[in-house]
């Protein structure tokens, strides 16, 4: 089969590799649609280490090709969505409700639930082996297209979780820092949860326009305005919730400075190097602030719920899929996505 293989820093290539077979408890799907994540760019640039020779990608939609022993309730040919995170559904982390932290050390080492394109072969391929298939194959309702569900595997699950982890309540004011794909989904999530005022912050006019489409009431260009002063003015002193969706010192700090005492900062970005908490904005540790972090939730029940949100018209993510490529030309898709050219938000890859 054809697959996009990581060969080393700044080197990926579509190669012929052996087609996977389903072992006990596993399934193989024929991938019909996938995409590229910002995290894949970190991998390509050598900023997040994975093994040479690994097939990358973690956002699969497909059709069941083979079912391993012990996987019940599915048929060959079923259309399925599989989350980027594939919890086992059995370990102590999973049973404690922290299934994204499944795996390594039974939940005592972070990130274990992220397997595709990280510790096992991923979704930018013609076929994909799904581990713990019983816990991870989510059947797609007939009326939903691949394009309607593909972004639920990662960015929508992540973005919505940023809003959910913050415990947004009806009437809350919310600021979302960065309106990339993740931040846009956090904006949509805040809207779904009943925020009364949503402020989207970015420096890209296309993305600020999309922010409004996804639910922001006000958008701020961080290059033009003093975001902290502006948010304090609009909210009368600070927001109930701020969501960080970039992963930099600056946006984390702004998120804290824009927060009212006892507010919640929900962090989604992946940081590199040191992250510091500014002492005054943190009220010397006495501000009753909450800081929460979330790794994308996965598993079939999460995917089922997200598909219901789409099926009942609560959210439409198709506008975020701005370009389409074949698997053979995935290198061009990486260039476009990596350089953020031509107004790209997410690319659809059709194996």
Ligand X SMILES: NC(=O)c1ccc[n+]([C@@H]2O[C@H](COP(=O)([O-])OP(=O)(O)OC[C@H]3O[C@@H](n4cnc5c(N)ncnc54)[C@H](O)[C@@H]3O)[C@@H](O)[C@H]2O)c1
- Residues forming the site for ligand X (CB under 6 A): 37-39, 154, 158, 177-183, 201-204, 207, 222, 245-247, 250-251, 268-270, 294-296
The Cα-based distances of 303 to 40, 80, 181 in angstroms read 21, 10, 18
The yes or no reply on residue 349 touching Zn ion (CB under 5 A) is no
Largest Cα–Cα distance of the chain, in whole Å? 60
Pairwise CA distance, residues 341 & 231, whole Å: 30
Q: CA–CA separation, 277 vs 301, rounded Å?
A: 36
- Told to check if 88 binds Zn ion by CB under 5 A, we report yes
Residue whose CB is less far from ligand X, 216 or 246: 246
Tokens of 293: 């972090």
Residue 202 binding Zn ion, by CB under 5 A: no
In the complex, least distance from residue 255 CB atom to ligand X, rounded to whole angstroms: 10
- 203: partner contacted, choices Zn ion, ligand X, none (Cβ within 5-8 A by kind): ligand X
Span near Zn ion by CB under 5 A; candidates 36-44, 173-181, 209-217, 270-278: 36-44
123 interacts with Zn ion by CB under 5 A: no
Q: Assess contact for 192 and 218: CB atoms under 8 A.
A: no
Please choose which of Zn ion, ligand X, none residue 62 contacts, taking the beta carbon within 5 to 8 angstroms, the exact cut-off set by kind: none
Find which of ligand X, Zn ion, none residue 306 binds, CB within 5 to 8 Å per kind: none
Coil, strand or helix at 100:
helix
Q: From CA 212, how far away is CA 208, in angstroms rounded?
A: 7
In this complex, which beta carbon is closest to Zn ion, that of residue 123 or of residue 231? 123
Tokens representing 30?
């024929």
CB under 5 to 8 A by kind: which of ligand X, Zn ion, none does 178 bind?
A: ligand X
Q: How far is the CB of 333 from ligand X (least distance, A)?
A: 14
Q: Applying CB under 5 A, which of residues 66, 154, 172, 202 lies at the interface with Zn ion? A: 154
In the complex, least distance from residue 233 CB atom to ligand X, rounded to whole angstroms: 18
Residue 308 neighbours by CB under 8 Å, 6+ apart: none
Per the listing, tokens 């994204």 go with 100
Alpha carbons 169 and 225: distance in angstroms, whole number:
28
* Closest separation in Å from C-beta 308 to ligand X: 21
d(CA 263, CA 195): 14
88 is in the binding site of which of ligand X, Zn ion, none (Cβ under 5 to 8 A by kind)?
Answer: Zn ion
Alpha-carbon radius of gyration of the chain: 20
Closest CA to 222 of 258, 186, 192, 276: 258
The distance of closest approach from Cβ of residue 313 to ligand X in the complex, given in angstroms and rounded to an integer, is 24
Residue whose tokens read 């929900």: 266
Which position's Cβ is nearest ligand X? 180
**Distance in Å from the first CA to the final CA of the chain:** 10
334 binds Zn ion (CB under 5 A): no
Residue 234, both tokens: 């609009």
37 binds Zn ion (CB under 5 A): yes
Residue 317 binds Zn ion (CB under 5 A): no
Q: Which of 4, 34, 35, 39 binds Zn ion (CB under 5 A)?
A: 39
237 binds, among Zn ion, ligand X, none (CB under 5 to 8 A by kind): none
Residue 270 binding target from Zn ion, ligand X, none, CB below 5 to 8 Å by type: ligand X
Is the Cβ–Cβ distance between 37 and 337 less than 8 Å? no
The site for Zn ion (CB under 5 A) is made up of 37, 39, 87-88, 91, 94, 102, 154
């Amino acid at each position: 089969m054809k697959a996009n293989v990581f060969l080393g820093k700044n080197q990926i290539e579509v190669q012929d590799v052996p087609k996977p077979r389903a072992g006990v408890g596993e399934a193989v799907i024929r991938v019909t649609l996938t995409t590229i994540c910002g995290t894949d760019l970190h991998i390509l640039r050598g900023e997040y280490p994975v093994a040479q020779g690994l097939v990358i990608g973690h956002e699969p939609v497909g059709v069941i090709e083979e079912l391993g022993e012990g996987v019940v309730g599915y048929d060959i040919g079923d259309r399925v969505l599989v989350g980027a995170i594939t919890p086992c559904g059995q370990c102590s982390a999973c049973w404690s409700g922290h299934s994204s932290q499944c795996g390594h050390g039974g939940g005592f080492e972070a990130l274990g639930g992220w397997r595709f394109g990280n510790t096992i072969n991923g979704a930018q391929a013609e076929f994909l082996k799904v581990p713990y298939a019983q816990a991870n194959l989510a059947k797609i309702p007939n009326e939903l297209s691949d394009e309607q569900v593909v972004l639920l595997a990662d960015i929508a699950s992540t973005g919505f979780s940023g809003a959910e982890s913050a415990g947004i309540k009806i009437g809350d004011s919310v600021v979302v820092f960065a309106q990339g794909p993740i931040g846009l989904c956090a904006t949509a999530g805040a809207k779904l949860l009943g925020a009364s005022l949503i402020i989207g912050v970015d420096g890209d006019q296309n993305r600020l326009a999309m922010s409004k489409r996804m639910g922001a009431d006000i958008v701020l260009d961080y290059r033009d305005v003093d975001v902290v002063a502006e948010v304090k003015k609009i909210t009368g002193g600070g927001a109930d919730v701020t969501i960080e969706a970039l992963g930099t010192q600056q946006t984390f700090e702004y998120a804290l400075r824009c927060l009212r005492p006892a507010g919640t900062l929900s962090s989604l970005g992946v940081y590199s190097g040191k992250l510091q908490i500014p002492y005054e904005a943190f009220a010397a540790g006495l501000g009753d602030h909450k800081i929460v972090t979330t790794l994308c939730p996965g598993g079939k029940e999460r995917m089922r719920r997200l598909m219901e949100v789409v099926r009942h018209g609560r959210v439409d993510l198709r506008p975020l899929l701005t370009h389409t490529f074949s698997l053979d030309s995935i290198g061009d898709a990486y260039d476009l996505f990596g350089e953020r050219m031509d107004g790209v938000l997410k690319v659809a890859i059709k194996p």
